Amino acid sequence: MSLLAKRTEQRVFLPSGSGDPWAIPTNGSLAAVTTAGIPVTESTAMSLLSVHACIRILANTVANLPFRAVRLDANEIRTPVANQPIVIADPFGGQSLNGLPKRREGIKQIIVSLCLRGNAYLLVTSRGADGRPNRLRVLHPDRVACAWVAEGVRGYEIDRKPVDAENIIHILGLSYPESPKGMSPIECARNAIGLGLGSEMFGARFFGDGAHLSGVIEIAADLDKERARGIKENFQASHGGVQNSHVAGVLTGGAKWTPISVTPEDAQFLGTRSWQDTQIAMFFGLPPHMLMQTDKTTSWGTGIEQQSMGFTTYTLTDYLCSIEEAWTPMLPGPQNAWIDESKLLRTDEAGRYAVYGSARSAAILTTNEIRRRENMPPIEGGDNIAAPLNSNVKPLQDAQAGKSEQSKDALGAVL
């Protein structure tokens, strides 16, 4: 019996373009009708700019962070391993073979799957000599079915064919207790996304198709359809279009032009769209300024920097930890997967140097540890944490003086 669960909600079939009327539609082409009357799938949701922007920011941010295998010492200090395992360095094979995803591309696909479906599935395509996975493939969620087959045991199908659970890496988003799969964010936010799509559609029709009349020509006499159409077409030909936007108009025979202004109710869709952008940002956990909503008050923090740090703490951390927990079991012990988010938490230059100065004075960081964080080479004597604050100046001056003497000696030899 297939693991695919039967869906009971009302859905609308959206043609997939295959041309086969008997083709089984994918989950993505089955959409529940929203209250706004707009069918919402992951494809239509991604056509809403705010949804697309939120997922793009999340995917790009996570994919661009350093991803390493590390060892934890007794003090829980992370030390990157010398030779990074293949499953970390090139998990999807794109660095070795063209046509396969690079690591950044694969991680982006994982985040997109989590944001749209609440589940990300990876298939183990090859293993090393120790039996551990070293190559993975990110699967489209439509291809995978998941259900409990025994107490605490998930069963998986790919294209309706059973697959060993040990060859599937399943990353879940939010999920109900005892549920084998994560909840689909798009299903949870379907009405909100439908309202955004509806207001966008209304705006497009308002400006593109003339959803609102710009004005009417009033004539006291009764006109038949042919004459009324002729007057309308002649007036439109003379005054329609950008090229005729400021030409003078002449009406005869008692005709009168009455412009129709946009009512506040008709203009309200602009406010609705702005509000929906804020709601979508809230749903995906992004501060409003990331969607250019800089005029909104927010509890994320008093400045852009604090809001960005809040975004890292309250939103990104969940995605980072989910990926780390999925990758760590694939590494030989005692290695752990680690995504370094420290670059996202860096303050401005003046703020960083002030913190470094305090950390150096309190013997928390050495000079070379500070320089390493700034991607600068170490200096002689910079590893002594008990050295006075300015003790590293003399070795640096001596080194510079030594270079100067060498230059003088070389110049004398030439002369």
Using one digit for the tens of pLDDT, what is the confidence trace for 234-258? 777 776 665 655 566 676 667 776 7
Q: How far apart are CA 254 and CA 251, in angstroms?
A: 7
Q: How many CB atoms lie within 10 A of CB 130?
A: 7
Q: How far apart are CA 89 and CA 78, in angstroms?
A: 17
Q: How far apart are CA 260 and CA 333, in angstroms?
A: 74
Token code pair at residue 98:
């063209």
Taking CA atoms, 381 is separated from 84, 354, 361, 362, 395, in Å, by 30, 22, 16, 17, 7
Taking CA atoms, 71 is separated from 39, 53, 80, 103, 232, in Å, by 49, 36, 6, 21, 79
Instruction: State the pairing for strand pair 256-259/335-339.
Output: unpaired
Lookup result for tokens 């207001």 = 199
Using one digit for the tens of pLDDT, what is the confidence trace for 180-225? 999 999 888 888 888 888 777 766 666 655 545 567 777 777 777 8
Q: How far apart are CA 250 and CA 306, in angstroms?
A: 60
Q: How far apart are CA 304 and CA 294, in angstroms?
A: 9
Q: What is the reported pLDDT for 145? A: 96
All residue ranges of the chain with pLDDT < 70 are 1-37, 202-214, 239-249, 251-253, 257, 260-273, 294-304, 346-348, 390-415
Q: How far apart are CA 16 and CA 37, in angstroms?
A: 20
Lookup result for tokens 């696909």 = 109
Q: What is the reported pLDDT for 11? A: 43
Q: What is the reported pLDDT for 16? A: 42
Q: How far apart are CA 200 and CA 208, in angstroms?
A: 12
